[in-house]
Amino acid sequence: MNARQAFIFSSTEKMQLNFNTMKTIDQTFDETIGLVKFQIEKKILLNELNHLKHFTHLQNDLITQNLFFTVSNNKLQIIATNLDSWLTSIIPIKNLSIEKTAIFTIDAKTLIKIIKTIKSNELIFNYSINDFKLQLAFEETIITMNCHEEQTASFPQQPIAKQNDNCSFYLYSQELFQALKTTSFAASNDDLRPALNNININNSNNDNDNDIKLTFAATDAHKLVVYEINNPISLKHPLNVNATEITKFLNVLKKANKLCMINYNTEIITFAFNNKIFTTSLFPGQFPNYQAVIPKNQSYKIRIDKNLLINIIERLKPLTTKKTNSVKFITDNGRLNVFTFDEETNNSGCDFIPISGNFPNAYSFIFNYHYLLEILKNCPSNFVMIYFSEDNNKPFIIKPIINNEVTNKITYLLMPMDNN
């Protein structure tokens, strides 16, 4: 075990993250009797509900329009699901008056609308176990909502991948956030090619580096993003997670500040951190072998101001052919000329941007501006290095320049358009 591993596992003990204490409680009603009364801060509850609502299924399914509540041991556990993903939040509650564990479901949309109108910061809930009714009291208002027994009993249990030495690892929450955020935009949303709708998490070895790296990759066949983490984690098998579900999860992960426990099996992956558990399905198919299309050696490179290039493209893109969104670039000594032309209106535009590096003069290439802007706007640096070869129909590589050095942590690949 190296120093980094030792630190991670030492920090994990301090974190006291325990799956067993966060598991969903068995949905049985036989032993629950009486009245449950608890108090909770509005700000805390509303913040959690705003995360959970993105994982409810709001069409044609009465059950998954609901949130599943469990009140037990001075804690409120709320689960939301759209049947592809589950999110659980654990919230502390006050003044608990309870004889047994209480479980019930409430329509998410209705509950959020009501709570948003409340001015008081303290909310008092009374739940009658006998007749499945939830009463919310605040100021001089009393609201009573039916908690349908059959919907509570039928609510889908959250699957949780169990902790296992071979299928468990830890990442810092913000490191995980950056990896997923950096790659998620590049995934496709095409039902005909479902493999491309995922972020692929796998291991890789660089040619000049024997260390195992954890890689996150996404592609729509036009662009590719690969994010590397220098972490000696050896996965039992690749993990393909749906990018749409991950994008919703990022809003939850964004403010996390502790280690994230990640458990997986062949069907699901579970993330646990702070007071949250997120489970999502794994895509069973094979992700494309993207490593095969990444050029290993490229002869030329251009250093360019990313923001200047974005401004020029935004200014000229109305003057492009809508079917192709094509923008042409031509190197000219110390600058890059940018040209657009609209075949339908014969409108055109041109501009230039200063560049440096190693490149031939009068070298031309064409990009779809939509894909290029996606990469540039998601790139974390102000300057980028663009690598390319003599064949202007081969893939171009774009890498961020951070602190005046090209970083290999993030690699963007962009396919050019036919330049013939």
Kindly report, residue by residue over 135-166, the tens digit of the pLDDT. 998 777 889 999 988 889 999 999 999 888 68
Closest CA to 246 of 285, 205, 189: 189
User: Strand pairing of 102-107 and 94-97?
Assistant: unpaired
Note whether residue 189 is domain-resident: yes
Q: Are residues 172 and 115 in the same domain?
A: no
- Using an 8 Å Cβ cutoff, are 416 and 393 in contact? yes
Note whether residue 72 is domain-resident: yes
Closest CA to 306 of 355, 234, 255, 363: 355
Q: Are residues 269 and 357 in the same domain?
A: no
pLDDT, residue 98, reads: 65
Q: Are residues 246 and 346 in the same domain?
A: no
> Residue 158 corresponds to which amino acid?
Q
Domain of residue 60: give its range: 24-154
CA pair distance 328, 319, nearest whole angstrom? 12
Note whether residue 15 is domain-resident: no
Q: Are residues 61 and 141 in the same domain?
A: yes
CA pair distance 233, 1, nearest whole angstrom? 11
Q: Are residues 323 and 270 in the same domain?
A: no
pLDDT, residue 420, reads: 67
Q: Are residues 284 and 300 in the same domain?
A: no
Q: Which residue has the tokens 């662009």?
A: 223
pLDDT, residue 130, reads: 87
Note whether residue 19 is domain-resident: no
Expressed in percent and rounded to 5, the helix, strand and coil fractions of the chain are 25, 40, 35
Q: At what angle do helices 173-184 and 243-253 cross, to 10 degrees?
A: 140
Question: Which of 88, 120, 154 lies at the terminal end of a domain, its last residue?
Answer: 154
Q: Are residues 183 and 288 in the same domain?
A: yes
pLDDT, residue 17, reads: 44
What pLDDT, in 10s, does the model give residues 229-284? 988 788 999 999 999 999 999 999 998 988 999 999 999 999 999 899 999 999 99
Closest CA to 145 of 117, 118, 116, 105: 105
Tell me the whole-structure pTM to 2 decimals: 0.89
For 182, the token pair is: 């950096």
Question: Which of 292, 326, 354 lies at the terminal end of a domain, its last residue?
Answer: 292
Note whether residue 62 is domain-resident: yes
Number of domains composing the chain: 3
Q: Are residues 268 and 343 in the same domain?
A: no
Question: Which of 246, 277, 292 lies at the terminal end of a domain, its last residue?
Answer: 292
pLDDT, residue 69, reads: 96
Note whether residue 16 is domain-resident: no
Please identify every stretch of the chain with a pLDDT value under 50, giving residue numbers as ranges: 1-33
What is the CATH number for 226? 3.10.150.10
Note whether residue 309 is domain-resident: yes
Note whether residue 346 is domain-resident: yes
Q: Are residues 120 and 212 in the same domain?
A: no
Q: Are residues 128 and 239 in the same domain?
A: no
Collapsed DSSP state (helix, strand, coil) of residue 261:
strand
Q: Are residues 32 and 145 in the same domain?
A: yes
Closest CA to 330 of 357, 358, 351: 351
Q: Are residues 302 and 395 in the same domain?
A: yes
